[in-house]
Chain A
Amino acid sequence: MDTKVEKKKPNENVSLADNSLLVDISDALSEKEKVKFTVHTKTTLPEFQKSEFIVVRQHEEFVWLHDRYEENEEYAGYIIPPAPPRPDFDASREKLQRLGEGEGALTREEFLKMKEELEDEYLATFKKTVAMHEVFLQRLAAHPVFRRDSHLRVFLEYEQDLCAKPRGKMDLIGGLVRSMTTTTDEIYLGATVRDVNDFFEQETSFLQEYYSHLKEAVAKVDRMTSKHKEVADAHIKLSSCITQLATREQPPMERFLTKASETFDKCRKIEGRMASDQDLKLADTLRYYMRDAHAAKAVLVRRLRCLAAYEAANRNLEKARAKNKDVHAPLEVQEAEQGQAEACAKFEQLSARAREELIDFRTRRVAAFRKSLIELAELEIKHARSQQELFRKSLQVLRECQ
């Protein structure tokens, strides 16, 4: 399936500090297994060669960019915006295939309607993946520190591919190894390094618990919205059977049944939109913060690593002092003192940064949930009203039908 999507509006999720670096995904093309995103940049920053330009990027290159930030020690105290998830159209493709296989059991009309539903679903998934890739870039571009990163600049302006195929695979494996290390670190460091700060203790346990609850909520909401879509689809068969019944009746009843069938068809569309809005406003928000919570946990792990290094530097200094008790102004001790001072500064700096980031995470989360829940409620009310109105009008027409 080849699909193109035009994107003009900047994503609302990210507030822009100023207009000196504006990024959006102006176009996207899906061919076979790959999605190609057209990344469009408009900038007044001197580091860039031009003021407006585009490049074409694939998903793996977004992951490459994310990994460059993750591994940069300067950003250790920051919550790195999570990489967008891989575009996944498998579910849609599978459904379409199953539809094709079961074509014989459906009437032509039913088949066409189901195909239309699936195509809409595919388009929605496509739009979502474009939005998620866009938000990722926009968060980086809006961030006062991240926007100055050289890798971002390369990503935005370098016209060649950033990672050739084999490299891409290595990166995938590397990513896996890295994420595994983070988890083992989490466990190991959590057990051995005693945290000096109550705030971080609390944050750690909060994020652990919160992350797992978010994950659970995402899973359950996903199941609910997918079943809701199936409820919508079940209307197709219902309205098609009523149409069939209509063709066997005399005119007044025939009109009646045809109108009833139309009503169910319209009902189906509204139910479908209810389901997808729930997906967009509720599930996606939960998912987004689940990933962000994961990124926040990564900060805590990095901080613990830094703390471990600090404690190691302390021990090193003590050892050096003990060894050189009787030596005057020993070099070893001086070096150890410097190492310890650096480790201390690094740790303090990271902790301060991390603290800000975690507090900001909370604020962002509360604001985002508030916005999403309000929008969700407004949309659901809107859809319920249209359903109600649909039924009311239909009843009026149907009652007159005689």
Chain B
Amino acid sequence: MSAGPDTPPFSTVDINNDSRDDEDIFASAVQEVSLDPEVNGAREGLEKVSIDDTPASISTSLNSPVMEEIATERSNNIIITVTEPQKIGEGMSSYVAYRVFTKTNMPIFSKHEFAVLRRFSDFLGLHEKLTEKYLRSGRIIPPAPEKSIVGTTKLKMTSTPSTENVNGSVSSAGVQSQFVERRRAALERFLNRVAQHPVLSIDPDFREFLESGMDLPKATSTSALSGAGMLRLFNKVGETVNKITYRMDEADPWFEERALRVETLEACLRRLGGACEALAGERRELAVRTHDAARAHASLSGADPHAPLSRALSHVADLHEKIENLRLEQSNTDFFILSEHIKDYLGLIGSIKDVFHERVKVFQNWQHAQMQLTKRRENKAKAELSNRPDKAEQAANEIVEWETKVERNQQEFDSISRVIKKEIERWEEIRVDELRATLLHYLEEHMKHQAQAIRYWDAFLPEARAIK
């Protein structure tokens, strides 16, 4: 299935939408798929899915910074976990491979459970392909995790853990594993978001990414320093300038209002993200200082000749070491649950802005075609006036050509506007649900942390009482 520039297949088909599009020219094709005996009852399965169910599976995968937690309740009949990051190779040519495990009922997949190995650039390649195919029709593409030259290089250049000595490298190993963990979780969220999207989830490239046992062709255009990368950077800059200079004549107030709302939401989220990261950072620092206090108490314990007091002080030291770990866990909760959620949404807002911009480009095309049409009409009129029948005929032909183009571009514009509206409405619902789920999860985790603190202090209390 080749992706044409104007009408990607199935782009207007919203499988999960009960109110089907009247202009859905591919409706019959969809029905043919569901009649396939191998996937009998697939229609049922597909229709069971509704917008409301989607958050559950996403939040479940957001649940675990720890690997391999699969929810029991299937909603879109697919859940993906990204696990076991492994460093392959050494030095600058090394990379991290992730195991992508899919569990699904969806008919387009040939099995119910399967796993493949993918590297980071594969994910970026998938994102690139999805963007190429669907951005133009107004789909919000879930953002891929950012490249980090610093983080990646550090990872490449550090020797693998088995050969590393424990002594000095504890903290650096901690930072490394945090980096890998963040990335793993982000990749997982990315895939699950795509999997929940009514259109993107049935994309063949997505299917191949999840299923195909073979290594994917290396996506060279995604490497940080490649020529294609630099070219894309230039294009992006050009586009930004375009965004600023082109003022679209907005006929639909809905878009202006939404664009503004999205902007203010972005600003809010940025502030919240900053506050959350600040909190996580302070807690991490507190953990370090708690460690120092624990050590100081251990020394004090050693110097005290009174045995029960010395024992109690040594317990104080142990207690504080446990508390130190608790503070780290609290910091991780702040970070992995709340802060990363916010980053995801800032990324999604970026995708939304991209989609708005696409619409502007489509509008530009339409206007350009209209201008061309007008010019050709003028040409014909001029040719007729100056009695040049050959030129008039040429102009007439061109008029037909441009009339077709204008009509097609207008349709494209209407179509993208319609799709964007649906996408945004879907997004708004998911956004609210996900935010709710994230905050609830965040509070639950913190409540558990307090329970742990109570356990630690409860265990210490009899030690304090035992001092005679």
Q: A234-B278, A398-B443 are in contact. Are A373 and B304 (CB under 8 A)?
A: no
9-residue interface stretch from B31-39, B187-195, B456-464: B456-464
Q: In this complex, what residue of B is CB-closest to A234?
A: B279
B282 touches A (CB below 8 Å) = yes
B300 and A213 contacting across the interface, CB-CB below 8 Å: yes
9-residue interface stretch from A27-35, A242-250, A308-316, A335-343: A242-250
Chain B's interface size range is: 35 or more
A224 and B286 contacting across the interface, CB-CB below 8 Å: yes
B461 and A231 contacting across the interface, CB-CB below 8 Å: no
Q: Which residues of A contact B285 (CB under 8 A)?
A: 227
Residues 215 to 271 of chain B near chain A (Cβ within 8 Å) = 261, 264-265, 268-269, 271
A234 and B282 contacting across the interface, CB-CB below 8 Å: yes
Tell me how far the C-beta of A8 lies from the nearest C-beta in chain B, rounded to whole angstroms: 29
* B287-310 interface bits toward A, Cβ cutoff 8 Å, 1 = contact, 0 = none: 001101101110110111110110
CA distance A257 to B436 in the complex (A): 8
Tell me how far the C-beta of B69 lies from the nearest C-beta in chain A, rounded to whole angstroms: 20
Contact of A241 among B271, B435, B453 (CB under 8 A): B271
Q: Which residues of B contact A391 (CB under 8 A)?
A: 443-444, 446-447, 450
B51 touches A (CB below 8 Å) = no
A220 and B268 contacting across the interface, CB-CB below 8 Å: no
CA distance A214 to B443 in the complex (A): 38
Tell me how far the C-beta of B452 lies from the nearest C-beta in chain A, rounded to whole angstroms: 9
Q: Which residues of B contact A374 (CB under 8 A)?
A: 461, 464-465
9-residue interface stretch from A127-135, A137-145, A382-390: A382-390
B309 and A370 contacting across the interface, CB-CB below 8 Å: yes
| CB contacts between A and B, total, < 8 Å | 153
Q: A210-B304, A384-B457 are in contact. Are A234 and B293 (CB under 8 A)?
A: no
Chain A residues touching B, majority SS: helix
B292 and A248 contacting across the interface, CB-CB below 8 Å: no
Tell me how far the C-beta of A103 lies from the nearest C-beta in chain B, rounded to whole angstroms: 17
Q: A227-B285, A366-B309 are in contact. Are A388 and B279 (CB under 8 A)?
A: no
Sorted from nearest, which 6 A-B pairs have the closest CB atoms?
A391-B447, A237-B275, A241-B272, A373-B464, A388-B450, A370-B467
Binding site for A on B (CB under 8 A): 261, 264-265, 268-269, 271-272, 274-276, 278-279, 282-283, 285-286, 289-290, 292-293, 295-297, 299-300, 302-306, 308-309, 312-313, 316, 432, 435-436, 439-440, 443-444, 446-447, 450-451, 453-454, 457-458, 460-461, 464-465, 467-468
Other 6 A-B pairs with CB < 8 A, given A224-B290, A394-B443: A210-B304, A213-B296, A238-B272, A245-B268, A369-B312, A384-B454
A and B contact pairs by CB, cutoff 8 A, 26 listed: A206-B303, A216-B296, A216-B299, A217-B293, A220-B295, A223-B292, A224-B289, A231-B279, A240-B275, A241-B268, A241-B272, A245-B272, A248-B264, A253-B435, A260-B439, A263-B443, A366-B467, A366-B468, A369-B313, A370-B464, A370-B467, A373-B467, A378-B461, A381-B458, A384-B454, A395-B444
